[in-house]
Every structure is written in structure tokens, then in C-alpha cells.
Structure 1
Amino acid sequence: MTFTPSTLFQYANQAALLGWLLLLVAPRWRFTQRLIVSGAWSLGLAVVYTVVILSHYLGGHASEGGFGSLTEVAALFRDPWALLAGWVHYLCFDLAVGAWASRDAQQRGVPHLLLVPALLLTFLFGPVGFLLYHVVRRWYAVPQVASAL
């Protein structure tokens, strides 16, 4: 089976969407806890990102573009493999932030209904949801564990 940027894009999107759906509708389910909240799902996307970068981006297109200007960044993403890598980068990090927020909310006792808007915004607009969750979490302290004497 040959993978193209388009097919990998579809698979990565479906994997990320499954992760987000589980965070939203079944955050305490054992499967969700083990694969999504733990960060394992995001690590899977990180592996895909790494493979794409190492096998395609660092190859013949390595000299195209750069990070010194917006024009150079635009040149980087003219190649479909580099564009795919950039997209998987977003999917991976946004889901990792959502998993962290879910884990943190469960530890702090943040009601899931208050977490949902932050998760949705993280899914759609990354940093906006991250910011919103930081505002919400200020009202919920991490429970202190009583030490046994």
C-alpha cells in the first residue's frame, strides 16, 4: 500500500477526531483514559509526524523555505509532504493539550460541562481553548492529599 499526503491526511484527521470525540463524550471511560488522556494517542500522531519529516521533508525539499520570514515559511508548505507534516503537528499538539486539560480537570474536580467549551475551542482554535481552560482552572485547586501519620 502506497501512502500519499492525501491518504495520510485522512487517516490522521480520523485518528485525531476519534481522540477528540472520546475526550468530549466519554472522558472517564477506561479506553479513553488509557489511550487519549494518557497522551498515548498524541504520541502516535507524533510518530506519524516524525516519519513524514524524516522520510520526506528532510529529503529533496530540505533546502526549500525556512523559518526566517513568512515568505520562507510559505515556501516550506508548497510541498504536500511538508504541509501534511505541519497539519499533523497541529493535530498532535492540540490533542495533547486537550488530553492534558482533561487530565488536569479530572484531578481538580472541574465539572466536565465546564471543560467541554475549552476542549471544543482547543480542537478548533488551539491556543484559544488552552487560554479558556487556564481561566476556568483558576477556580479549582488541586485537592491536597492528606498525609498519613
Structure 2
Amino acid sequence: MDTTQVFSAVSSLAALQWLVLIVAPKWKVTQWLIRFAVVPLLLAIVYSIYITGFFGIQGGGFGSIQEVRILFSNDNLLLAGWAHYLAFDLLIGFSIIKSAQDKSVSHWLVIPCLLLTFMFGPCGYLLYQMIQKIKSQR
């Protein structure tokens, strides 16, 4: 599989996981996927495979924005970075779902948080923290 196909596959897999988080958070299958972090684990495997190219990139690294730009100019490392984002955003989504269910936060309030986390990671987490703080003060 080339990087374009893998990109499409991991993006579709993550989108499907987000869909079940949003539409059916209490479904047994969704709860199982969350409990065992199946999709983030699969994304971690993809990440681990594609990050191996990091060591061969001349001038690339994490010490400056220019070094990071060099890393992401390589499709294998760009795909690794994408899998990294997808996995960690999902883990944040799982955390939001678990917390909301434990604290009886309405899923209608959680949906915008999940959508934001899916699209803009930390923004969704921030929104959920604000909702949770407001709810706990009541």
C-alpha cells in the first residue's frame, strides 16, 4: 500500500470511530472499542511503521520549526504525524466520553465537544472542560 492509500484507510477508520462515539456512545460495541482502545492501537501500529523513516531524514528533527518542516516534507513521516494526531485526538474523545458518562453530562452537550475534538483537537477538550466546570459549579 502506498502512503495515499494508508492515509485514506486510517482517516476512514478514525472517522468511523468518531461517528460511533457521537451517534451511539453507550452501544456495547462503542464501549468495547473505547475500553480496549482498538482504533488508537491500530493507528499506533501504523505510526510505528512509518516513523521508522525519521532516522534517515537529513536535517530533520524537533529542535526548530525548520527541522520539523523537513520531517513533514517526507510523505512517510507526514503519514506518521497524521496517524499520531488521529490516535491522540481519539484518546481525548474517549476521555471526554468516559468523563461525561461518569458525571452524567448530557450527551447533547458532549456532541459539540466531540466534533471540535475531531476537527481541532485541543479546542474540543477545552470546550468540554469549560462545560464540566460550569456544570460542577451548579
Give the TM-score normalised by structure 2: 0.91
The equivalent residue for 2:19 is 21
Does structure 2 retain, via aligned residues, the 8 Å contact 1:16–1:91?
yes
Distance 1:37 1:100 in 2: 11
The equivalent residue for 1:41 is 39
Shift of 1:37: 5.3
Moved over 6 A (4+): none
Distance 1:115 1:49 in 2: 28
Shift of 1:48: 1.5
Structure 1: gaps spanning 5 or more residues: 142-149
State the Cα RMSD in Å: 1.4
The equivalent residue for 1:104 is 99
Query: Larger C-alpha radius of gyration, 1 or 2?
Result: 1
The equivalent residue for 1:65 is 60
Does structure 2 retain, via aligned residues, the 8 Å contact 1:23–1:37?
no
Alignment of 1:132 onto 2:130: no
Structure 2: gaps spanning 5 or more residues: none
The equivalent residue for 1:92 is 87
Q: Deviations over 1:16-48 (max 9, x none)?
A: 001100000000000000013542321221121
Distance 1:140 1:34 in 2: 28
The equivalent residue for 1:114 is 109
Distance 2:75 2:119 in 1: 22
Distance 1:125 1:114 in 2: 17
The percentage of counterpart residues that share the same residue type is 44
Alignment of 1:76 onto 2:86: no
Distance 1:41 1:12 in 2: 9
Distance 1:40 1:107 in 2: 21
SS at match of 2:98: helix
Q: Deviations over 1:30-81 (max 9, x none)?
A: 0000013542321221121112213x333x33x3411111111101111100
